[in-house]
Amino acid sequence: MKKLFSIAIILIASVTMSFAQVQQEEIDYYQSIFGMEKKIVVANFLGLEEGDAFWAIYDEYEKSRKKLGQVRLELIVEYAEHYDELTGEKTDELVKKSIKLRKDNQDLVIKYYKKAKKVSGSKIAAQFYQIENYFITAISSEFYTEVPLIGELE
């Protein structure tokens, strides 16, 4: 778990240190590493064999989650680019995008919880729901630790 969390921290740190230089290839690379490590952690947590029907659902979920991860990174870059000149209008726009992203992430987890429940039962689905929310919370927490709050650098 610590190794996975470290990879997430590296991903976030690399983004926060080089906002203007974020390239799609780098993002894909970090997401693939994070995804591979994450799948190992999830597999150990759930105790499922490789051939279990859950994994098809999980892979589908990860594909959608990565798209939302891309949106998150774009939002971070946009925030950084406008940090020194945040107008009320721009701040409101960024907050609305952040709220939508949070809702989209939660909706995605719920959607795949339901799919996982159909193929693997309530216990596995609940474990999936728990661990995904853990990852989302841990990454959000690291983000708020690394990225300056509005007005913090004034």
19-56 pLDDT per residue, tens: 444 455 555 545 555 556 888 889 999 999 888 999 99
What secondary structure letter does DSSP report for 148?
P
**pLDDT reading at 128 higher than 50:** yes
80-93 pLDDT per residue, tens: 888 888 899 999 99
Please report the pLDDT score of residue 6 as a whole number: 46
Dist CA 11 CA 26 (whole Å): 9
Calculate the average pLDDT of the chain.
Answer: 82
**pLDDT reading at 14 higher than 60:** no
Please identify which residue in the block is written with the tokens 């990174």. Answer: 73
Domain boundaries, the chain: 2-146
Token pair of 47 as six digits: 């105790």
Report the Cα 116 to chain-centroid distance in Å: 19
Those residues whose C-beta lies under 8 Å from the C-beta of residue 41, and which sit 6 or more positions away, are 1, 4, 131
